[in-house]
A and B are shown apart, each in its own frame.
Chain A
Amino acid sequence: MKRTSSTALLRTTASAALLLLASGHPLTAQTIAITGGTVFPVTGPRIENGTVLIRDGVITAVGSNVVIPAGATRVDATGKWVTPGLIHAGSRAGLGIASLFQQSEASVQGEVTPSFSPAEGIDPAAITIPLARTGGVTTGIAAPGGSYFRGTAVAIQHAGSRLEDVLISPAVAMVLDLSGSSKAAGGGSRAGTMARTRRIFRDALEYARRRTDYQRGAMQELAAPAAELEALLPVLRGEMPILITANRAIDIRNALRLTQEFTLRTILSGAVEGWQVAGEIAAAGVPVVLEPNTDIPSFDGLGARLDNATLLRAAGVKVIIAQGDPGGERQLRFGAGNAVRNGLTWDDALAAITRIPAQAFGLEGYGTLAVGSVANVVVWSGDPLDFASAAEMVYIRGQATSLHTRETELLERYRTLPPRR
């Protein structure tokens, strides 16, 4: 009873709730010094025998000569690797109580639903969230599913008990699919999809200019309901990025055309044949979210190849790594490892799951270990991109989180089999 009321008290302010431990530890203003590890700030070179100092959920010092205040909780990370919490730009964790297909909350019916944000479908109690933490992923960017204009991607942190605790932003990017799966939205041809997209964008701008006419009924029928066009305005004003799925080279070029025509802040998603148009993507300043192990040819990307990330990076493109499968959160770091296997530098691979997605999706203060950064920090037993290592401590907003999962309990139950009956 007492415990319930004190928990309720803590929840009265959102900021307090943000600091609530996922494992249920009481809230205290806390200073933590993670010492002795090899620190990867991602803003600069690695620091041997470095210290990361955290106070009240924010990083207050990073370096090799950090003065540790008296009373700080010391965490010995000697021999460990210390990185920012990973950011998964292809996340599904929390969008449904479990990763069962039937339990997904990721999409709504309809082809043109820019006003949809899956935020209120997010369940902070989802069993996928602790699993994501075990993969060192502290932040998920989850795009709605479906095809064509799907709605907005949300950003969440993987700790907290209420939506207000976990939600970083309900709308980090508008999501548009220009791949083959949106052909139907254009009447059966990519060219039709492009034409319809331009009509929707123009009508949104027209609607914004002539709201009074719209209210008087003095406008011709719009290409989408007003509420949906309204939702597109931040994109057309350059206030919100647009995440465009495009895999074939021609789809990518179409996306770049729209980017230029409507002055969009585009992020490409998929980009299976990106390597073929890498120079053009780089020239447009467009970052790319990709899955590094994509090499199976489809008619949406006959040119799939494993060194796509490497070739894009070599052309100067900002590369973000994601893993789409159920359980992708835990595979994220290995996706980055595979990108290294296929030629990307290790530093670029780590940036592709930390700093670069934070920048592209406007998550200021995330994805780096720098003074003022949100204290999402992972202590790894070794190289986070390789199999031999594991996340040993995962801090979210300066609080140690639990790495206990359903899997842990199943293991303990069946480690020794019960006697046969």
Chain B
Amino acid sequence: MKRHRSLLLLTGLLATACAGAGAQNPTPTPRMFMTGADTAVFRDTLSFMRPQYPSTYVRHTNPPVVIRNANILTAAGQELRGATIVFQEGRIVSVGPDGPVPTGATVIDGSGKWVTPGIIDTHSHLGVYAAPGTAAESDGNEATNPVTAEVWAEHSIWPHDPQIPLAIAGGVTVMQVLPGSANLIGGRSATVRLVPARTVQEMKFPGAPYGVKMACGENPKRVYENRGPSTRMGNMAGYRAAFIQAEQYRQRWDRWLLDRKGPPPARDLKLETLAGVLRGEIWVQNHCYRGDEMAQMLDLAKEFGFTIRSFHHGVEAYKIADLLAEAGTAASVWSDWGGFKMEAFDPIPENLALLTQAGATAVLHTDSPDGIQRMNQDMAKSYYAGLRAGIALTRDQAIRWITANPAWVLGIDSLTGTLEVGKMADVTLWSGDPFSVYSKAEKVWNEGWLVFDRLDPEHQYHTDFNLGQTAPGVGR
């Protein structure tokens, strides 16, 4: 019975997909994957024609919410005092001095409190390096080959990682989960919503482009010291060899997809991902600490005709802020962490401020299950470091480091990352100024769904792992 129902549901989705895209498209571009509708037609055909691990995320229905008398940092240019935000059916319907109260709305007094967009982390390993940290759940690095573009982080994510509710309690609504940095090309990333879920498919952000993790410098050359690459020049040769193969693969496939004559070329998951990069469908997320090395990677991207969406861990990004601004490549960086290895020897707390001043897209990321719980604090540290150095910065620019700018890095900035009418209701209510160490995320709405309420245990999510233990860990 249950099975029949899900079959029906599937048919319904297929029909929707057919209406939205597919055969009627007036300007067909070469496309690898069939939509669900195509699958029905090509039932007996090959794997690449079928849906590839689609998101099953569905927005939860919730009553409308009105937060009044709050200080609102929109991340869209404004900090409103004593203002009102209204959201309904997962969308922001009003932000301003006043607002409508929809029928059945939950009305919250925001006096003395702050509202910001839900925080977005461009660099996390939650779920792929779950807690408790055991070898059994160390699933972040497929360190068996320097190029493993064929692996997908989502196939490692454990939705019951108890670190996920801790991050939610820090006001985070969306994160990019990446493979680790052992490899030159480590595999695909996944952009997920931080929501209670039984499967990772229920967390996947619908429509978010895939990223691919690449890594410069010390890590790959250390891991593959014995078989190569063992030097930075070896690293570069490794990326180039992989993309040369990918160019040929892309040509073969694009040619076949245009006329579909004869048998399709052999499918290669590694090259499929890299061909996606060359087509601009899969975005490069590049672990790279040193400024000079980032400049090398920008040249590599020019050689193969793609854009690096963001460098990650760019401890020296401030040294090449102008190059980043010119290339349209963001820098995801820490506030003041560094010094722990040679390529991280030159951190300065003014990194984000200098990047912002240079017109580059500046992003604060964590790469840390601890840091992701307190991203507002790192934002504050970087903001005040910039001010103390005499760099002109606004609080709006600073809040963008953890909201609008990371949304851009993940390709979801038209949907979320700011508090503007029409955007998704990814909203965090803070007990006080988020620039203060004493403030906590008090309530967190993920597309309108109240996924965390510090004041109400009914809205504090505990993973399966947390059950039956003495300290569920959140809500304090």
Q: Which of B318-350 contact A (CB under 8 A)?
A: 318-322, 336-342, 345-350
Q: Which residue of B lies closest to A249 (CB)?
A: B470
Contact A296 B339 (CB under 8 A): no
Q: Tell me the complex Cα distance, A388–B387, Å.
A: 10
Contact A387 B380 (CB under 8 A): yes
Q: Tell me the complex Cα distance, A414–B162, Å.
A: 41
Contact A417 B321 (CB under 8 A): yes
Using Cβ atoms and an 8 Å threshold, which residues of chain A touch B473? Answer: 295, 297, 304-306
Stretch in A54-62, A96-104, A106-114, A238-246 touching the partner: A96-104
Contact A337 B437 (CB under 8 A): yes
Contact A299 B388 (CB under 8 A): no
Asked if B369 is an interface residue, CB under 8 A from chain A, the answer is yes
Select which of B132, B321, B470 is within 8 A of A276 by beta carbon: B470
Contact B471 A296 (CB under 8 A): no
Asked if A334 is an interface residue, CB under 8 A from chain B, the answer is yes
CB distance from A77 to the nearest CB of B (A): 18
Q: Tell me the complex Cα distance, A253–B381, Å.
A: 38
CB distance from A231 to the nearest CB of B (A): 31
Select which of B133, B319, B347, B373 is within 8 A of A414 by beta carbon: B319
Contact B346 A410 (CB under 8 A): yes
| Residue among A307, A330, A387 facing the most chain B CB atoms (10 A cut-off) | A387
CB distance from B323 to the nearest CB of A (A): 8
Using Cβ atoms and an 8 Å threshold, which residues of chain B touch A128? Answer: 339
Contact B470 A303 (CB under 8 A): yes
Q: Is the interface of A mostly helix, strand, loop or mixed?
A: loop
Asked if A338 is an interface residue, CB under 8 A from chain B, the answer is yes
Q: Which of B137-184 contact A (CB under 8 A)?
A: 162-163, 166
Asked if B53 is an interface residue, CB under 8 A from chain A, the answer is no
Q: Tell me the complex Cα distance, A303–B472, Å.
A: 8
Using Cβ atoms and an 8 Å threshold, which residues of chain A touch B350? Answer: 411
Asked if A327 is an interface residue, CB under 8 A from chain B, the answer is yes
Select which of B162, B338, B348, B476 is within 8 A of A411 by beta carbon: B348
The answer to whether residues A297 and B339 also contact, given A342-B476, A385-B437, A420-B322 and a CB cut-off of 8 A, is no
Asked if A293 is an interface residue, CB under 8 A from chain B, the answer is yes
CB distance from A371 to the nearest CB of B (A): 32
Q: How many residues of A contact B (CB 8 A)?
A: 44
| Residue among A297, A303, A325, A410 facing the most chain B CB atoms (10 A cut-off) | A297
Contact A100 B435 (CB under 8 A): no
Asked if B440 is an interface residue, CB under 8 A from chain A, the answer is yes
Asked if A261 is an interface residue, CB under 8 A from chain B, the answer is no
Contact B338 A327 (CB under 8 A): yes
Contact A386 B133 (CB under 8 A): no
The answer to whether residues A387 and B470 also contact, given A297-B132, A420-B322 and a CB cut-off of 8 A, is no
Asked if B306 is an interface residue, CB under 8 A from chain A, the answer is no
CB distance from A379 to the nearest CB of B (A): 15
Q: Tell me the complex Cα distance, A330–B341, Å.
A: 18
Using Cβ atoms and an 8 Å threshold, which residues of chain A touch B166? Answer: 295-296
Using Cβ atoms and an 8 Å threshold, which residues of chain B touch A304? Answer: 471, 473
Q: Tell me the complex Cα distance, A345–B179, Å.
A: 41
Contact with B along A370-405 (1 / 0, CB 8 A): 000000000000000111101000000000000000
Q: Which of A317-362 contact B (CB under 8 A)?
A: 325-327, 330, 334, 337-338, 340-343
Contact A306 B476 (CB under 8 A): yes
Contact B476 A305 (CB under 8 A): yes
Contact B438 A303 (CB under 8 A): no
CB distance from B314 to the nearest CB of A (A): 13
| Residue among A298, A325, A340, A415 facing the most chain B CB atoms (10 A cut-off) | A415
The answer to whether residues A100 and B436 also contact, given A298-B131, A334-B377 and a CB cut-off of 8 A, is no
Contact B435 A297 (CB under 8 A): no
Q: Tell me the complex Cα distance, A359–B368, Å.
A: 34
Q: Tell me the complex Cα distance, A330–B378, Å.
A: 13
Contact A387 B384 (CB under 8 A): yes
Asked if B396 is an interface residue, CB under 8 A from chain A, the answer is no
CB distance from B12 to the nearest CB of A (A): 40
Select which of A101, A276, A327, A387 is within 8 A of B436 by beta carbon: A387
Select which of B338, B389, B438 is within 8 A of A386 by beta carbon: B438
Q: Tell me the complex Cα distance, A101–B342, Å.
A: 9
Contact B339 A98 (CB under 8 A): yes
Asked if B62 is an interface residue, CB under 8 A from chain A, the answer is no
CB distance from A268 to the nearest CB of B (A): 18
Q: Which of B373-427 contact A (CB under 8 A)?
A: 373-374, 377, 380-381, 383-384, 388-389
Q: Tell me the complex Cα distance, A390–B350, Å.
A: 14
Q: Tell me the complex Cα distance, A33–B338, Å.
A: 37
Asked if B354 is an interface residue, CB under 8 A from chain A, the answer is yes
Select which of B163, B374, B436 is within 8 A of A293 by beta carbon: B374
Contact A387 B437 (CB under 8 A): yes
The answer to whether residues A414 and B338 also contact, given A293-B370, A297-B469 and a CB cut-off of 8 A, is no
Q: Which residue of B lies closest to A299 (CB)?
A: B132
Asked if B219 is an interface residue, CB under 8 A from chain A, the answer is no
Asked if B199 is an interface residue, CB under 8 A from chain A, the answer is no
Q: Tell me the complex Cα distance, A137–B348, Å.
A: 19
| Residue among B342, B349, B358, B438 facing the most chain A CB atoms (10 A cut-off) | B438
Contact with A along B107-137 (1 / 0, CB 8 A): 0000000000000000000000001111000
Select which of A275, A327, A386 is within 8 A of B437 by beta carbon: A386
Select which of B320, B349, B358 is within 8 A of A407 by beta carbon: B349
Q: Which of B415-455 contact A (CB under 8 A)?
A: 435-440
Contact A341 B440 (CB under 8 A): yes
Using Cβ atoms and an 8 Å threshold, which residues of chain A touch B437? Answer: 334, 337-338, 340-341, 385-387
The 3 closest A-B pairs by CB, nearest first: A337-B437, A387-B380, A303-B471
Other A-B pairs, 19, CB within 8 Å; known A275-B471, A386-B437, A417-B321: A101-B341, A273-B471, A295-B166, A296-B370, A297-B162, A302-B469, A302-B470, A303-B470, A305-B476, A306-B476, A326-B337, A326-B338, A337-B438, A341-B437, A387-B381, A388-B380, A390-B384, A410-B348, A420-B322
28 A-B residue contacts at CB 8 Å? Answer: A100-B339, A101-B341, A275-B471, A293-B374, A295-B473, A296-B369, A297-B162, A297-B466, A297-B469, A303-B469, A305-B471, A326-B337, A326-B338, A327-B336, A334-B377, A338-B377, A340-B437, A341-B437, A341-B440, A386-B436, A386-B437, A387-B437, A410-B346, A410-B348, A411-B389, A414-B318, A417-B320, A417-B358
Taking Cβ atoms with an 8 Å cutoff, the residues of A that contact B are 98-101, 128, 273, 275-276, 293, 295-299, 302-307, 325-327, 330, 334, 337-338, 340-343, 385-388, 390, 406-407, 410-411, 414-415, 417, 420
